[in-house]
Structure 1
């Protein structure tokens, strides 16, 4: 497990070299063995793993750093944020030659802590592990969790909570906010270094581009469109899409006040800190475009020395976002109802279904399972879905007119629509059990089902029920 320190070697302006704070009694609570094997990490004793991934001892080759970045938080720019409770241990190269960042979260104060204690409570660490692994299994681009280590210490978050450190694995921790940090300081040399680093790490095919900054912007936009389309496919609500939580790699990063959509409504918000609904389920594409515009602003000096010319080139890419996203979004929704090679009229069918789901307050995940059942068994719709009867007839007719075989439609729907998601009430239940008992049995059982979200296992039905109140009063919290 020999680490390199490529990002740390970029220079002092990019980060602070600082060791994690040692903890009192590190104990390994969760270890992601399949991920460890993929990364080529040879498992050692649980005690040694706990020592490494609590931050009490450096991994071989590691030079821990806290990364500098800025960010728009709910639309308001903060010129200096940075890793206030995280330490990037270094980069690991897997057996296929891919590079991955290993980062500890909840590992102590840095100069970016802004009066925070730099610690993490157990529950948010568990949420990051559970949700990131669920997203990975759902086929959504995401960072992942390697370990959760309990610290034997208490942290105060309105009340006393057990502390933990979670290890995150990401293809990098470059964010829109990283570029904003140097743009705010008019450090064009550092911006150029970031562009080179991002291309080398994530977009090597752009290495010979005549305009590397513009090519990078275009590539990142495409990655973000793919990411948001996946979020909407499975019903994921990030909850805090600030520019410092927008990864250049196109991976889902930071699982703070995230949640899953139950009853379909594009205005759904669960985050306790999103009082205006800025990051509602249906707003995520719009906010993504806004975030890409902020990235474009940082790159203008590198796109063209002539400010007006640079602005025109960047604006052209941002202007194309809406059209690109609409095509990706409609293609995704067509796949959810078994239609390949979508045609223009299918858009009306898709929109009508979503409007019916909203007006009848139908569960997002269950609706597509019910639709698939009408193809497989021809059985009548369950009572709560009877409002879809006319639409279903229209949909079936469309499939016939397009000569789409029933089996082909069913197979496409089965690959696109999960049978189980990390429903909010089950997530909260297992987190509470671990926090109260220190045992992970319930957590492990839930995660085992979430690892196969497109298959029906003997225990899948234990986690498919919807909450009694339809998540009407559900709230998520940042946990920092």
Structure 2
């Protein structure tokens, strides 16, 4: 690891210092021929980083982890996880590194993390590398989520490494630089709890409280308050996924953050035709992480977090279980409230509309959307413009009688999402060295609510034959 000269970048190492037992010091592999493919200049400015410097050799060295400030302490983080329901006690950053923490222009602490930077001792036989396509996918989808107002980790850059990556075929290698309020996961707590080190578990929980819910430290039971906080932010997050038609695809406990940010955009995609059974992941054979299962899986994951925290919540096991259960039981009403409020916004319904009436309207609509195989995003945006398909006329007459606010609907329903056929088109072009389709799609989805002349194809559903066979892959 060489030192980046002439730079004012300061990388803290709070995680590595406070939790060295789960922070394995490691270094990124060299990149033979690094080439910047895309840089998030607005995010760079938000982080206090100079975009022009990042485009230079020292900046690119930072973005692949090979030229760091002298006091940086890059680490691979340890965590465990339930993967598709199966327990794996040792996962960790097998192809990733936490370079350190930045303080952004709003004085917030943000992680700078790499993906595809080479094998670590957590790699479990993998090569530790990443291909250009999956890293550009994460950049694109995470920026779309941010533009939609959905809590998410964000991509700062994708750099092609000049190193080939062997998958089904030989692909170009890349490193993604990712920004998060932290990379603490449910799996982080499972990892420590499995080791049986109660003092370390307490330090991990204190670290999480300090970073994500400092008010919990002042409560009678800080660790129960931490669980309450994670339950609340995840209920809100999953409701927003569902409202947007987003399918994460790999909701393992190591992919659920304590912060309530979406993380790990592997086999993810947005629904076209509405169907609760929608699955895009090539490895989700039984539909565990289907669109309609996401709220229940989130609750399942949160139960695993509660189990990991029991010893901190109370010395009395029975009392700890009772308190944790009460906390977990808040998920369903919190999720329901966030979902219902979001559906009201999508339908332009004011507070004067009775809850029962609104819920009946929503339930009937979702049933019709599923039976008619209607494009989810287009339907709601069209509704705001008065576009009603014939099968929905009777339903729409009742909806119109409630005096919906069409302008509010346009602010709640996007015109543009990263539609799967357009994403694949952009990634295929990028694989040949043509980044223009990627940048054009990125520009469109970065302003998802603003309809623009000349961009009609970006609002159109996928061709029917595409949707029937589309799958996504984790990229490892």
Query: Which is worse superposed, 324-333 or 93-102?
Result: 324-333
On the 8 A contact 1:18/1:110 being kept in 2, the answer is yes
On the 8 A contact 1:174/1:198 being kept in 2, the answer is yes
Structure 2 counterpart SS, 1:247: coil
Q: Show the counterpart of 1:255.
A: 265
Match of residue 437, structure 2, among 427, 438, 442: 442
1:163-222 Cα shifts (integer Å, max 9, x gaps): 000000000000000000011111111111111111111111222111011000001100
Cα distance in 2 between the residues matched to 1:351 and 1:395: 13
1:353-380 Cα shifts (integer Å, max 9, x gaps): 0001011110000111221122xxxxx6
- What TM-score results when the alignment is normalised by the length of structure 1? 0.95
On the 8 A contact 1:27/1:47 being kept in 2, the answer is no
On the 8 A contact 1:176/1:246 being kept in 2, the answer is yes
- 1:284-303 matches, cutoff 5 A: 284-303=294-313
- 1:55-454 matches, cutoff 5 A: 55-341=65-351, 343-374=355-386, 381=388, 385-399=389-403, 406=404, 409-436=405-432, 438-454=433-449
Cα distance in 1 between the residues matched to 2:233 and 2:408: 23
On the 8 A contact 1:40/1:94 being kept in 2, the answer is yes
Q: In the comparison of the two structures, how many residue pairs are matched?
A: 463
Is 1:465 the counterpart of 2:460 in the alignment?
yes
What is the Cα deviation at residue 60 of structure 1? 4.9
Structure 1 residues not aligned, in runs of 5+? 375-379, 400-405
Cα distance in 1 between the residues matched to 2:283 and 2:191: 24
Match of residue 456, structure 1, among 441, 451, 476: 451
Structure 2 residues not aligned, in runs of 5+? 1-8
Structure 2 counterpart SS, 1:162: strand
Spell out structure 1 runs of 4+ moving beyond 4 A: none
- RMSD of equivalent CA atoms: 1.2
What is the Cα deviation at residue 473 of structure 1? 0.9
Query: Which is worse superposed, 456-465 or 14-23?
Result: 456-465
What is the Cα deviation at residue 398 of structure 1? 2.5
What is the Cα deviation at residue 344 of structure 1? 2.2
What is the Cα deviation at residue 14 of structure 1? 1.2
Structure 1 counterpart SS, 2:325: helix
What is the Cα deviation at residue 10 of structure 1? 1.9
Match of residue 24, structure 1, among 29, 32, 35: 32
Cα distance in 1 between the residues matched to 2:281 and 2:142: 18
Query: Which is worse superposed, 365-374 or 319-328?
Result: 319-328
Structure 1 counterpart SS, 2:129: coil
- What TM-score results when the alignment is normalised by the length of structure 2? 0.95
